[in-house]
Amino acid sequence: MSHFTDRLLEAVRSKGGPVCVGIDPVYERLPESLRSPGDDDVLEVRVDAIFAFVQKIIEVVAEHVPAVKFQAACFERYGPDGLGVYHALTAEAREAGLIVIGDVKRGDIGVTAEHYAAATLLDAAAGDDDAAAPDAVTINSYFGVDGVKPFTDVAAEHDKGVFALVRTSNPGGDAIQNLPLTDGRTVAQAVAQLMAQIGSDPRYIGASGYSLLGAVVGATKPGDAAALRRLMPQQMFLVPGFGAQGAGADDVRACFKADGTGALITASRSITYAFESRPEVDWAQSIEDATIEMKRQIGGIVG
Amino acid sequence: MSHFTDRLLEAVRSKGGPVCVGIDPVYERLPESLRSPGDDDVLEVRVDAIFAFVQKIIEVVAEHVPAVKFQAACFERYGPDGLGVYHALTAEAREAGLIVIGDVKRGDIGVTAEHYAAATLLDAAAGDDDAAAPDAVTINSYFGVDGVKPFTDVAAEHDKGVFALVRTSNPGGDAIQNLPLTDGRTVAQAVAQLMAQIGSDPRYIGASGYSLLGAVVGATKPGDAAALRRLMPQQMFLVPGFGAQGAGADDVRACFKADGTGALITASRSITYAFESRPEVDWAQSIEDATIEMKRQIGGIVG
């Protein structure tokens, strides 16, 4: 395999847009035809329905987008069975030619971070880097360098990627991430510079010039994106918050570099639950339509 | 059940010390008698050995300490099987009368945080608050209030607890957590005040006056503890870093209030791998001896 960012850039080119479909399956919101109201107190029934739902999403979006992002929490809430389905679907998505990002937001220190890196970037159950592990994961940056490097070192060894939280998309993040430091930076900007520095290790840089250590920068904070883009020239941005969380194409413009690369825009609920507002249309068709429409919107700003 | 902090304080009183044994099982470090060098490339063999190891630890420490902390990463690295063992051991520890803290350090926003709260504070597989879920979990605070409240609300409903990361025990944490803000606080102090504020919700306060929202404050940062103690009068501190990470009894003194309550001191590797430096002694005996010795050291400062 080649460097994660080189694979990602190639996939963006071949699919025609830096768009990622976020998959956050919630049983209660699945299409009626997939639910079994009579016996859905049985864990297996719910997990099986989620599997069928996501399998179909993979099938309809694979030709349109370079990447999908799995929200690990939605699977972990169903315990070991849910985790098994997460890995099985990861394998299906990769088999379908998609780059898979495991949105696990793990974070810890030293040897514990090494365990999490093994658990999330490699296939824990198989004990090896096989098809059922994602291409990249999200991590929490609050621990600093000794919380990040255990992940990036594993990623470097296995041609994988890591996206560290810099600026989250939720309103409450401001109360910490926007605090002004005495040196004129905000907390998020300080985190950005630290990630840029950690990510600049030559072992982490691909042919494209991007680092395997990227950054999560919420689409809902357009005022912050330009400064963060300058502070992290080698970081690929994973940009959540498009769609259901309220951000549009104009809001994510500053996450890209002048050449139109540098960001992967993610929408989750606005795509995977698009069928809720179109009861007259087949649910999978609604998801495909919403994917194509989002790609069109993003295409309008990156050319 | 009663409020989490009331149960914790009662357990500390009845066991005679605010000591928590951290359980971070790593197959390669298990006692020789539990390992099977011939066939330990089989996942089950490793997971079974970890189960036997931790089961014995629970047995020997239950009469001496009020609480144990399970490092989720050490189980998650073995995939669904590992997660199953994590829940089974949680049930065994609670059955043995121990308060169990799931060191999962999860963090996300809104509805995703709700999924993680369900996954980690309740028994995900059983879909209910039963014996296989821990009494409390650790979470990451970088998201602010909308990353914390989904956890504390579930905790309030089920008499559980939450410990938010404020000051981590690793050296690298300083580069973010110690940054000076324009208002004179450090980032960690700002996080501390935010957690104190979120935790002050009357629904979260127990008979003891402590909030179900506690804080993780590393024992390796003794210079910071006094200020954090003042900023978080209602927070119980979970204090990692004792022992293997270098902190001793004097370093954790400032985490306690004048009445000797307010902190739960955790040691992991220095207790559970105590047998490594005493090859002539039964390994379980070494773990029990190390537990008693740590309790003596902490007893010396809280009276």
pLDDT in tens, A258-300: 999 999 999 999 999 999 999 999 999 999 999 999 999 999 9
Phi/psi for A185 (5° steps) reads -85, 165
The yes-or-no verdict on residue B40 having pLDDT over 90 is no
The CA distance from A126 to A56, in Å, is: 25
Whether the Cβ atoms of residue A108 and residue B105 lie closer than 8 Å to each other:
yes
pLDDT tens string B230-247: 999 999 999 998 988 888
Which of A118, A124, A170 comes nearest B146 by C-beta? A170
Residue B71 dihedral angles phi and psi, to the nearest 5°: -85, 105
For B138-161, write each residue's pLDDT tens digit.
999 999 999 999 999 999 999 999
Half-sphere exposure of A265 (CA within 13 A, CB side): 35
How near does any CA of chain B get to the CA of A178, in Å? 11
Is-contact B160 B211, C-beta < 8 A? Answer: no
Q: Which of B146, B186, B145, B140 is nearest to B162 (CA)?
A: B140
Which of B82, B120, B143 shows the shortest C-beta gap to A173? B143
Chain A residues near residue B113 by CB distance under 8 angstroms: 73
Asked if B264 contacts B236 with a C-beta cutoff of 8 angstroms, the reply is yes
Selecting from A71, A127, A148 the residue whose C-beta is nearest the C-beta of B43 gives A127
- Closest CB to A187: pick one of B24, B165, B187: B187
Which of B70, B170, B266 is the mutation pick for testing A, counting most A CBs within 10 A?
A: B170
B29-33 own/partner pairs: CB under 8 Å, 24+ apart: B29/B273, B29/B276, B31/B275, B31/B283, B33/B283
Q: Looking at the complex, report in whole angstroms how far the Cα of residue B13 sits from the nearest Cα belonging to chain A.
A: 31
User: Is there a catalytic annotation at residue B149?
Assistant: no
The rounded radius of gyration (Å) of the Cα atoms in chain B is: 18
Distance of alpha carbon A193 from alpha carbon A176, whole angstroms: 16
Q: Please, which contacts does B25-29 make with residues 24 or more away whose CB atoms are closer than 8 Å?
A: B25/B50, B25/B53, B25/B54, B25/B71, B25/B74, B25/B75, B25/B272, B26/A111, B26/A115, B26/B74, B29/B273, B29/B276
What pLDDT was estimated at residue A85? 96
Whether A176 sits inside 8 A of B169 (CB atoms) is no
Q: pLDDT tier at B126 (50, 70, 90 boundaries)? A: low
Tell me which chain A residues have a C-beta less than 8 angstroms from the C-beta of B115. Answer: 26, 71, 73-74, 76-77
Token pair of A249, please?
């194409």
Asked if pLDDT for residue A129 goes beyond 60, the answer is no
Predicted confidence at residue A264, as pLDDT, reads 98
pTM of the prediction?
Answer: 0.97
- A-chain CB neighbours of B108 within 8 Å are 73, 105
Q: Report how far residue B80's alpha carbon sits from residue B143's, in angstroms, rounded to the nearest whole number.
A: 28
> Is residue A180 over pLDDT 80?
yes
CA distance A252 to A217: 9
Give the residue numbers of A annotated as catalytic, written as ranges.
Answer: 105
Minimum Cα–Cα distance from B125: chain A residue: A79
Give the Cα-Cα-Cα angle A189, A192, A195 (nearest 5 degrees): 155
Neighbours of A184 (CB within 10 A): 8
Q: Is the confidence at residue B47, as pLDDT, over 90?
A: yes
Residue from A143, A177, A269 whose CB has the most chain B CBs within 10 Å, to mutate: A143
Q: How far apart are CA A140 and CA A147, in angstroms?
A: 8
Q: Residue A153, class by beta-carbon neighbours within 10 Å (0-12 exposed, 13-18 middle, 19+ buried)?
A: middle
Q: Looking at residue B268, what DSSP letter applies?
A: -
